[in-house]
Structure 1
């Protein structure tokens, strides 16, 4: 089944093999599609670094998750799922492209190329969808600040299953005739056929670009944008507590979005140029750089999403020192690890309540005589009433005119 879209009989010892399709056969020699020996060596070194670094980073994440039970929260299951898919890329994908780059040609034949293209496309889309699911879970946690329970785990499990099913649904069609998998760039890697300009191929590439790159990116931007907006609402009222939180989350969000764009947008743009541009517009040198950037996401994701996480960082330090991890406030949270405050509009339409996780005081903000905000106790509306302490949840109420 896998080799049904590949013509195995057309190939020379020193040429890239050709793939079958509705538009005929594509047959190009290595002199047409290859890099210089130095170029292949540079690519091999880059792939070796990405594969090694990504393998050990993601393996370390899985070891930490299995070693320390306090890491087994709903949101961390999503993080570990991302690491698992990236680890699989480093195991079933990168070694073959590394070996091909050292020799300057594809080594495991047409069927191996189809398998490589399918596996890497599937696992790459799994990571992209999981990143979107992770951002949306954090957004939902902000809107509904609750402790983790069986429902949270079921929702996360459903999100992981959806990510895998969604990815498989978009990567199986080339095996059955809607586009195809074949050599990419200098012929040492394989992916979706970006170059064949047929309605069949173009329609698949457009759908893949929209549904597997643009939509996940929009979900990420929307979810983290809402999270930042909620934090900024509170920072206007309680700057001493919320400013650091806002800055920390802002750095995290900007880092995630920039790395997402840096890793995947060049690859997507190159694919579109190869699809809609004139033949030969995308040179081997131009095609290999975006491909390396996309593969580098397997090494970058653990650093951004795991080691910037205080829970994993404490466990990592404990693993190095062979002792139990220090317990901090981050261990008291589960799916609400990145918690913002949520606005709740009362029935009369004039009051907005901002609710956030805290064990400190409950504070009510009302208008003073000058039209500004004043702070008082939550039990009453008096201007000088002392705050009421020992509440498990803070309710910040801002009264607006209108």
Structure 2
């Protein structure tokens, strides 16, 4: 028979035990807390190391200094910053349901969260433009996609998200009309990113739906053109110069593989972030009744995109695997390492 003491509910825990109006901590069992920390810390470490390999490889090896790879380098920098600046603090907030780092850093953290997410998809959008010219207009690719053009792409990819994120959060336009809800849930130790109905739609469209739609449209067109090129090469009349034919096929195959790889990167991004942005739009219309744990699952699914990108590079890019081996074995410290070939000799 149970004792009367066993009928008492567990003691409520607060974020700050000696502060009035402190937020309540989540009541989770120790095995669940440990499992969450293991998964999230692993994701952070993999994101950090994987993107660091991409950054070091493209920056160090001269053979990788191409317009497309400079966009990839900038995107890897975005993912690396996410793993350092955003994910560790989000991990503690998600597991403990508490924010221990002050109100000002809560705003700064939210700004970096929005900024880096938006920056990533802007990069992917411009990478799709690069692929469009590489596959659909290869004769003019070198003159169209130059370093000054890439610099403009990078300027747009970083400047617009910075102004958008910091301007929105510090002006508090996103919480106009939600004052009653904010006052009702406000407590010490809370760091919640809230969007009203207007900005829930606008922010999602600016950061995700508009550029995502552009990317999908571009890649559908690219695949259509690439298919047509493949049929023309395979079914067309025999060319007199066998060497020229072989070179054309090799170039077509290389561009098709690169486009397929980058489209997988884009597809993974869409699948990872789509649930979160749908939730961002719908949550204000259902009076912010989304369960906290569901919000965190969708948020971390989005963060995992930054973990997956280097894995995709490793699966599809031989240069990435070779660069990784050289970094791990220390060959990168050789004086001539920056000029070593990372590509198979037959390519």
TM interval, shorter chain, is 0.7 to 0.9
Residue 120 of structure 1: aligned partner: 113
Match of 2:264 among 252, 255, 279: 255
Residue 167 of structure 1: aligned partner: 161
**Cα displacement string for residues 344-395 of structure 1 (whole angstroms, at most 9, x for unaligned residues):** xxxxxxxxxxxxxxxxxxxxxxxxxxxxxxxxxxxxxxxxxxxxxxxxxxxx
Query: Structure 1 or 2: larger helix share?
Result: 2
- Higher relative contact order (Cα pairs below 8 Å, separated by 6+ residues): 2
**Cα displacement string for residues 139-191 of structure 1 (whole angstroms, at most 9, x for unaligned residues):** 12333324647961110111011011121232122211211599x9xx99956
Residue 153 of structure 1: aligned partner: 147
Residue 13 of structure 1: aligned partner: 16
Structure 1 residues 66 and 16: CA distance shift in structure 2, 3 A: farther
After TM superposition, give the deviation of residue 308 of structure 1 in Å: 2.5
Match of 1:267 among 269, 276, 288: 276
Larger Rg computed on CA atoms:
1
**Cα displacement string for residues 12-55 of structure 1 (whole angstroms, at most 9, x for unaligned residues):** 825999xxxxxxxxx88426xx4524554443322211111000
Alpha-carbon RMSD: 3.5
Cα distance in 2 for partners of 1:252, 1:149 equals 24
TM-score (norm 2): 0.74
- Note if 1:288 corresponds to 2:292: no
Structure 1 residues 136 and 188: CA distance shift in structure 2, 3 A: farther
Cα distance in 1 for partners of 2:323, 2:129 equals 26
Report if aligned partners of 2:123, 2:154 keep a CA contact under 8 Å in 1.
yes
Residue 221 of structure 1: aligned partner: 216
- Note if 1:57 corresponds to 2:50: yes
Cα distance in 1 for partners of 2:269, 2:19 equals 32
- Note if 1:47 corresponds to 2:40: yes
Cα distance in 2 for partners of 1:188, 1:49 equals 26
TM-score (norm 1): 0.65
Residue 325 of structure 1: aligned partner: 341
Residue 80 of structure 1: aligned partner: 73
Structure 1 residues 70 and 259: CA distance shift in structure 2, 3 A: same
Cα distance in 1 for partners of 2:345, 2:226 equals 19
Report if aligned partners of 1:180, 1:192 keep a CA contact under 8 Å in 2.
no
Match of 2:89 among 72, 96, 101: 96
Report if aligned partners of 1:47, 1:97 keep a CA contact under 8 Å in 2.
no
**Cα displacement string for residues 72-112 of structure 1 (whole angstroms, at most 9, x for unaligned residues):** 11110000000101111111112222344565521112112
Report if aligned partners of 1:58, 1:84 keep a CA contact under 8 Å in 2.
yes
- Note if 1:36 corresponds to 2:31: no
Cα distance in 1 for partners of 2:265, 2:19 equals 37
Cα distance in 1 for partners of 2:342, 2:230 equals 29
After TM superposition, give the deviation of residue 210 of structure 1 in Å: 1.2
